[in-house]
Amino acid sequence: MIVPELQPAERVEHISGAELHYWVYRDHLAESGSTSPVAPTEPVDAAEAVVMVHGLRGTHHGLELVAAGLPDQRVVIPDLPGFGDSGPMTGRRHDVAGYAHVITELIERLGGRTRPVVLLGHSFGSIVASRVAAASPELVRRLVLINPISTPALRGPRVVLSGLTSAYYSLGKRLPLRAGHSLLSNRWVVLAASRAMTRTKDKQLRGFIDENHLRYFSRFHSPALLSETFEASVTHTVADHVDELRMPTLLIAGESDEIAPLAGQRALAARLADAELVVIPNVGHLVHYETPAPAAEAIRRFLGTP
């Protein structure tokens, strides 16, 4: 699997006590020859900006293939506080409300009050993005949700698996720090989760996905922070905010997604004021890894770009 060389400009903001690292793709500073790994903070031209929010245990790397498919857009992707290169928040919980506050402030610092952005969220990021768009619709011109969480994980057919996973995260939090981190970062558990979500039969692509999960899935600050975020991910959905989402919204669903089942996506689309649902066949919850090109094509069409 060839990953495009996007050469993003890395930047840092301090929000809610967190050292928030984010990456700007196709930024005019990079084009002008800046070689600093952390460029000075200046407003991004948010008229064309797409701000992306990754899912649970993810980092900005997971959404780069989708970003690569949007050649006419400036894309901004942060590592959520407590994941990847970003430090944890202080004085706020690492839950939907806490992350939504950070993304809202980031958009404001990017100039979103005068030039609203396109906001995109994958999986848990779809819940965060929906809360931002519902609470601050003036900042969000259009909303894109990939594999959106539309049905509660603690009810329905996934309740047993969700309960076991919750117990796993709780155990990791209760153990001594090193032991808990080791349990939650266990190579074989990460691989098992990766392979359970992967649908492609392409060996090279499967290897690429496994490699990325092994490299980035365990870049969390602490077991306690991860457990807090996991609980938020299984107790909230995009549907919590459906009545407040009035902007044009694109839902991109995986045909065989067991984490965000297709029936729930159809029900969510029917409830939204202005929604389009695109279903990508032969993929589950990893649209951003397995079928980024069709996802990006749907986004370009939704945004009215070639």
Nearest to 230 by CA among 178, 150, 165, 155: 165
Please return the burial class of 140, using the count of CB atoms within 10 Å of its CB with bins 0-12, 13-18 and 19+. Answer: buried
pLDDT of 4 = 60
pLDDT of 5 = 65
Distance CA 190, CA 51 (A): 27
Structural tokens at position 189: 């558990």
Strand, helix or coil for residue 142 = strand
Distance CA 304, CA 299 (A): 8
pLDDT of 109 = 95
Domain spans in the chain, listed from the N-terminal domain onward: 9-154+228-303, 156-227
pLDDT of 153 = 62
Q: What is the pTM of this model?
A: 0.90
pLDDT of 39 = 43
What are 140's strand-pairing partners? 117
pLDDT of 58 = 95
Structural tokens at position 216: 């980035």
Q: Which helix (H) or strand (E) holds 73?
A: none
Distance CA 57, CA 237 (A): 17
Please return the burial class of 95, using the count of CB atoms within 10 Å of its CB with bins 0-12, 13-18 and 19+. Answer: middle
Contacts of 202 (CB under 8 A, 6+ apart): none
pLDDT of 3 = 57
pLDDT of 81 = 98
Q: Which helix (H) or strand (E) holds 24?
A: strand 18-25
Pairing type for strands 9-15 and 18-25 reads: antiparallel
Phi, psi (deg, nearest 5) at residue 37: -65, -25
Strand, helix or coil for residue 242 = helix
pLDDT of 29 = 28
Nearest to 302 by CA among 256, 255, 239, 252: 252
Q: Which CATH architecture has domain 9-154+228-303?
A: 3-Layer(aba) Sandwich (3.40)
pLDDT of 161 = 64
Alpha-carbon 71 to chain mean position:
19
pLDDT of 76 = 97
- Ranges of residues in the chain with a pLDDT under 50 are 28-47, 154
